Structure 1
Amino acid sequence: MRARLAATALTLIALAGCSGSPSSEQSTPAPQPSATGLAQQPSVKGTVATNKKTPLSLREQPTTSSARLIRIPHKTVITMACKTIGDTVSNGVKASNVWNKVTYKKKTGYVASVFVDGGDSAALSICQEKTSQPSTTATTRPPNVEQAIVKAARSQRGIAEKKNNCNPYGGCMPWSSLFATWAWNKAGNVVPKFSFSGDLYAWGAMHNRAHLGTDGVGPGDLVLFGTAPDTPKTSTGVAIVTEVLADGRLKVIGGDYKGTVAERTVALKGIYGWVDA
């Protein structure tokens, strides 16, 4: 890991600060991700599509092993708040790792989208919540991990999504974060599979790897676009740095750029922070 004293100092400031949009990396504390933004997201109606004898399990987390909160009968109309990534589940026709967040009879949890008509709706927002196990993720990095990340990311150049944002790195949803976490994990730099870029910044902050602005950024690091990590409107995407150019700009590679994995040159303006590889 590269020595970045100035960036580490900024991290300490960020972790001590309160939420808000950063105006300068030297003076503004980092905003904290908000889980309350879900109330402002558009909800979508769906219908449980299991069978007459098999109700749908509403689970505490988007995993088949988590606690069942309640069973939802076949053909029940439910309201989905958002979608996220979880265990892969098959309905016998197709398999998906997309889960929907649902409140049913005052219990809030997750249902596998393959059992909901409309569960993969493009109108559903990404759930804006931190991972349930951020502190247990390994933070050690293998030797030469930066080069390995760049190599893994570049191996995917030109790969495109299919209809409705369906991509090979996760479910049918915006996928810049899914691609970034795929490349890091492919290189042995273990990180949870996040579907929302703001959660990547929050995870980095928990492990002293998140920084405001761009001071100290280098190849293999993640840069976050937008103004703050709070919601998809303020944290609009993420890409992997492949090169720091002499003119101060960055070469980055990312997923979901015009529907493909693409490498491009970007200005520093519009980047609110970065996460250390």
Structure 2
Amino acid sequence: MNAKNRARRLGTASVTVLLTGACALGLTSPAHAATPTKAPSTSASKAKASVTATVANTGGENLIVRSKAGKSGPEVKRLAEGTSVQIECQVASDDVSGNKYWDYIPAHGGYASDYYLATPGHDGRHPDLPLCEDTPPPDGTMRERIVQIAKGEVGLTDKSKYGAPVDHDWCQYFVNWVWRNAGVEDMNDTHFTGDFYYWGKERGLTQDGSSNIKVGDGILFGTGPENSDTGRHVGIVVAVHEDGSVESIDGNYSDAVTRVGPYFPDNATTHEPENVYAHVSPPGD
């Protein structure tokens, strides 16, 4: 779709909208300023560093990157043997062939066993890397976990963390990543918002229209899921107010993860490219 600009008046503030595709947006929310948040934090005793490593010892299989350190962490990515990555920090967890350390790979937003990440001259604890001061995934309901994880990403701009290629819009990648890290299994794994709609339909999770929206829902903007002209954007609902307005956290909004709103789902064009046409509930609700 060709990019186009249009201005809207919000009270006394004028907002310029740059629409560039299925997930679009150069729109800036007037209600919230993004504050960068990085995860995980690292030991204060060492400056932030990174070490180059190569995926190895897999016997030709892909290496699973997990959202938390350990064998039970939800899968977020698979890396081919020979792939070069940057490690930011390490944490002790499940032993793999005598190596108890798991390495955080920021570009892919997760951890992999150090046994499968070769760093010349070192095996296990690396002297040039800090320890990750990470915490387990948040407790609470699935919806609460989704909201907490999404809030922790506000301000980030590196779409590769969510698995998005350089040439892709990434609002749907962000939703997929958050839901997967909250524990949703068999998660939709495509970048088109319409596929997310149909993924939910097949599981009885998608509701057309804008009634009964809840925190944690994936909220779909446009007129339908048919193509990128009708399915425009997606976000995660993080607040629902008594007057019916909502707030969402959206990936690829002003090229960042941004908290947006409040806005009314049936009049969302004050903040979003289109109104809400459907929403998807997380499974196990």
With normalisation by structure 2, the TM-score equals: 0.46
| Structure 1 or 2: more helix by fraction | 1
With normalisation by structure 1, the TM-score equals: 0.48
